[in-house]
Amino acid sequence: IVNVWYSVNGERLGTYNGHTGAVWCVDADWDTRHVLTGSADNSCRLWDCETGEAIPQIPKFPVSGTTILPYFFNKSSQAFPRDARILHPPPPPWLIPSPPLPTENNEPYMKIPCSDSKITSAVWGPLGEFIIAGHENGELNQFSAKSGEQLSNIKEHTKQINDIQTSRDMTMFITASKDNTAKLFDCTSLEHLKTFRTERPVNSAALSPIFDHVVLGGGQEAMDVTTTSTRIGKFEARFFHLAFEEEFGRVKGHFGPINSVAFHPDGKSYSSGGEDGYVRIHYFDPQYFEFEFEA
């Protein structure tokens, strides 16, 4: 069940009911009118963000000015093909008078085969011109959103890429990997820029929208958590300087691996979701905004 919460006071506003399996990912469009979810029940669902009702048609999702929407069948079931599938929402109503096609009948207009190693995370590149995909074997691929052609391929990680997040201006992105590192890349060229090292697998990494700061979340593998104390498991959120690659802070609180981290768009807080079942929202102290990193 997908929940929506008011971040200021933790009040739960409502739920999105419909999935019958674990929900792997949730995202909203730019104006927060629609929510897209991907689940282990082998379906992606669209919701009205305000009412929580499932939407039977695919709305127009503005992605850098385009109207293409990717989704990936990889985590949900090994029975599904290892490819990226891109749906094309119907044209605006002023171009075609007929109503949009139902979601279940809207076949992907493009399939990008990934036979060697399945995709575990993916994001749009600048202007929606290409897709950046991270793979189970540590590879990063850049695919054209128009032709599906592979534009670039690199392998800087040695193990699975768990998460990819872009910077606010879409010029860079950061990856989180099971090889105990997070790495910064140029979005267009895939040039490797920086590396942030830890002692445990990194499940998620995010870039601050206002400072040269990176937050990492991870910890010991979930299957081993019951035999390990929180101190040894290293379940803290860890802060690094983007340019100097040095750690300058840690935030404790979770008693299981952190699966997801994200900065608030205004950069004044961040949230983390853990295997312990909690989402923690942290507001930065005034000293954080006055902090100057000494190289």
Between 110 and 188, where is the model more confident? Answer: 188
Does the pLDDT of residue 63 top 50, yes or no? no
Cα–Cα dist 254/274, whole Å: 6
Question: 């507001």: which residue's tokens?
Answer: 283
Per-residue model confidence as pLDDT tens digits over 222-272:
666 555 555 555 799 999 999 999 999 999 999 999 999 999 999 999 999
Does the pLDDT of residue 95 top 80, yes or no? no
pLDDT confidence tier of residue 10, bands split at 50, 70 and 90: confident
Report angle CA 114, 257, 166 to the nearest 5 degrees: 50
**What token pair was written down for 40?**
């282990």
Report angle CA 270, 274, 278 to the nearest 5 degrees: 80
DSSP letter at 101 equals: P
Specify the amino acid at residue 280. R
Helix (H) or strand (E) holding 44: strand 44-48
Beta bridge partners of 285: none
- Judge contact between 183 and 156, C-beta under 8 A: yes
What integer pLDDT is reported at residue 128 of this predicted model? 82
Between 189 and 40, where is the model more confident? Answer: 189
Percent of residues, the chain, with pLDDT higher than 70: 78
What integer pLDDT is reported at residue 27 of this predicted model? 87
SS3 139: coil
What integer pLDDT is reported at residue 223 of this predicted model? 66
Across 103-132, average pLDDT: 79
SS3 290: helix
Backbone angles phi, psi at 135, to 5 degrees: -115, 165
- Judge contact between 182 and 222, C-beta under 8 A: no
Backbone angles phi, psi at 20, to 5 degrees: -115, 10
Between 15 and 80, where is the model more confident? Answer: 15
Per-residue model confidence as pLDDT tens digits over 195-222:
999 999 999 999 999 999 999 999 877 6
* Domain ranges for the chain: 1-68
187 φψ region: left (φ > 0), alpha (ψ -120 to 50), beta (else): alpha
Cα–Cα dist 221/218, whole Å: 8
Between 228 and 153, where is the model more confident? Answer: 153
- Judge contact between 134 and 119, C-beta under 8 A: yes
The mean pLDDT value of the chain amounts to 82
**Strand pairing report for 150-154 and 2-6:** unpaired
Between 216 and 92, where is the model more confident? Answer: 216
